[in-house]
Chains A and B, each alone.
Chain A
Amino acid sequence: MYLVEKPARYVGGELNSCHKLDPDLFRIALAYPDLYEIGMSNLGLSILYHRLNEEPALYCQRVYAPAADMERLLRAKGLSLWTLEEHAPLGGMDLIGFSLQYEMTYTQILNMLDLGGIPLYTQERQSTDPVIVAGGPGTANPEPMAPFFDAMLIGDGEEAILDIARTVKEWKREPSRDRGELHRSLARIPGLYVPSLYHVGVDANGLLQEVKAIGGAPWPVISRKVTDLDRAFFPTKPIVPGLEIVHDRAQVELFRGCLRGCRFCQAGMIYRPQRIRSANTLFLQAEAILSNTGWEELGLISLSTCDYPDLSGLLEQLQPLQKRLRVTVSLPSLRADSFSVKLARLAQGNKITLTFAPEAGSERLRTVIGKDIRDQELVEAVRMAADAGFQRVKLYFMVGLPRETQKDLEDILPLVEKLRAEARHARRRLRFSTAISAFVPKAHTAFQWEAMEDLERIRQKRSFLRQQLERIGIETGGQREELSVLEGVLARGDRRLAAAIREAWRGGSRLDGWSDFFSNAVWQEAFVRAEIDPRAYLRAREREEILPWSVVRYPTGPAYLWRERERAYAE
């Protein structure tokens, strides 16, 4: 432990972490394929961890991706990756649940399995190996990772995870322990997709011909939903990490699902319908969490915070608490309008950066993508932000959106200039920066049938904007083109991609989301080895075509999404 950076990532024992002594308990590891600091900030995982540990017969533990130095050490000493709670080897768990938050963490999942001494492919695992499942937004297109999982959960996890644990536990008691039998039992749990029970057929041109359920497995798999957030479990005694993490604060979840209907946004579609937690419940949860943890900040979490029905009422109700406990309240995920800025001014302690996502330069294109924000609203928001004493405004834009023209790109510069002029007019020093990334058409959105732009075009567009903006002294950032394209391939791929993901992992791909670790060459080599043309996954899809993710169904089905797509083209 003296040989690695930040050893606190691997030792556990934090305040409010769970420790159980009975060696016969059913052991579950929740695995997050990124560093401790990122994984510990994930609210979903915290909910599942504490929910599982409420059950006396279950012992839920945690494991995160090791940093490069730790991986080297583990491999050099022939040690297994271990859980934080018991320091037990990963391979000794009964059940492991991976969180699929982002496509670029997929190789790290394979790395963690390998470091745990667990065979990567489901079909290679023995009856003594742990059962490996996945959940999180990544399962919206489960196919690229399907061969590695016994089961993948579509939708909300806090109820389903108990069904999964119970089913695996019963199976473990059976003398035969036939994995096929387990898969059939798992497939009976609502929301569970069991890849081995689906046959994928490909035609001579490499197109998907069929995805067929075998042996009575459900078709489609309908996403699991928690109906009443007020009654749903929420941990009021969450783990307080010693190491500073990314979102080092108490969190309450205002609502799940978003009704804004931005046509590019996957989260906006797959988390529907909107379910709201009452202000009273939120207040009680906030009070309990703050007094059980001592956190100095409270985050009000949702996909679009200012859409909470009575946000000002809630903020008002929280004020005495804020004063008494001397905590600040933060409102992430704000919309770029003056109402949001007003709220941010009311609540937020750190008036430093406000982040807005206009996404497109022109009102026309914003209407097409369903992000209805007028230029005037942006101007007012910036004026209020300047008046409120914020110091920085960060603007997010996308290139390669459907129906984008050169004119839309050219409109970005005057918009940014106009916003900057407004801030100057208010005689405030407001620093502007922009992040320009490529649009990735994701599964289960109105744009799922769209083509993703090719690398060269994205590069041209980004460098055009970079030049324009940097000439007037505005910082530009955003995701590297190669990373966006790869994200597109993994987000839109089918089962055949699994071989390429495995090759990329073998080639050394690890924490790819961290741009300093990303190597495009490793991936290109992996595609060659797996005999896959990644560009094929970026093409436009026909309406009648079988999409890799058509086995998964959310309340916003394909008919609705297609209508939304048609509306986008009619705008």
Chain B
Amino acid sequence: MTRLRLLYGKGAPIAFLSHLDLWRMLSRLVRRAGLPMVYSLGFHPRPHIAMGPPLPVGAMGDQEQCDLYLEQMTPATLVERLKGLGPPGLLIHSVREIPEHEKALTAFPFRSLWQLDGEWQKAPEADWFMNVLARESIPVHRHTPKREKTFDLRPYLLSFCSGTDWLQVETVSYPSGGARLDEILRLLKADQHELTLRSICRKRLQFGPAI
């Protein structure tokens, strides 16, 4: 078995697909390419594709990753075979081989650099960000279908940067969870710094050592 890691970009219009939709789209891509994928058993054979960390619906991603499990194939052949078959918005940057038994992408902590473009109601000053980062905890409410809980955002926020019509946020996430963009935007909104979004993009996705 070969495990190949795809480094790809998710742009419009597929940026508007959910993570599950994206998985389905990739599985149809490998079917169109007729790749010798490893398939699941049963009546609905599914190609083995292990996805990386999800993007929110509507967000683009410049450096997303996923793993394809194939019977045998070199990275160069895979690039060749996928050429011209992807849906509009999918950009394949590179492919490399990964040891078969290495942990899944979702088992690693990762840093995301988000670029949010839009219109400020009132752009925040640098002080506002300093104050946020200086806080010991930032409790927010999270609704789950079963219950409501308080979640501390602070450990997941690394840095902020903003301009007249944009905001950059760097976050860290762990397999156990992370900050959500809408929570960060709500935090800004609470202090009259509402950002009406034009686009969201994860510019960088970096994995740390597994925990």
Contacts and interface: CB of A to CB of B under 8 A. Distances in A.
Interface in A302-340: 325-326, 328
Nearest to A15: B87
Contacts of A328: 43-44
A467 interface: no
Interface string B166-201: 000000000000000000000000000000010010
A286 B49 CA distance: 25
B124 interface: no
A439 B39 CA distance: 46
Nearest to A240: B28
A61 to B, nearest CB: 15
A293 B87 CA distance: 10
Interface of B is mostly: mixed
Interface residues of A, number: 27
A14 interface: yes
Interface in B34-51: 34, 39, 43-46
A274 interface: no
Interface stretch (A1-9, A43-51, A119-127): A1-9
B13 interface: yes
Contacts of A293: 28, 32
Nearest to A5: B57
Contacts of B87: 14-15, 240, 242
A283 interface: no
A8 B34 CA distance: 27
A411 interface: no
A243 interface: yes
B208 interface: no
Interface string B8-29: 0000111011001110110111
A243 B58 CA distance: 13
B78 interface: no
Most buried by A among B16, B25, B27, B39: B16
B30 interface: yes
A209 interface: no
Contacts of B43: 328, 349-351
Given A2-B58, A326-B45, A294 B13 contact: no
Nearest to A10: B16
Given A7-B57, A350-B43, A350-B44, A295 B28 contact: yes
A349 B42 CA distance: 9
A291 interface: yes
Contacts of A13: 12-13, 88-89
Most buried by B among A14, A291, A293, A295: A14
Given A7-B58, A244-B21, A12 B28 contact: no
Nearest to B42: A349
Nearest to A349: B43
Question: Closest 5 interchain pairs by CB?
Answer: A294-B28, A13-B13, A349-B43, A294-B31, A294-B32
Interface of B: 12-14, 16-17, 20-22, 24-25, 27-32, 34, 39, 43-46, 57-58, 87-89, 197, 200
Given A8-B17, A240-B87, A244-B21, 11 more contacts: A7-B57, A13-B89, A242-B24, A243-B17, A243-B21, A293-B28, A295-B31, A296-B46, A328-B44, A349-B44, A350-B43
6 contacts: A2-B58, A11-B13, A240-B87, A242-B13, A294-B27, A294-B28
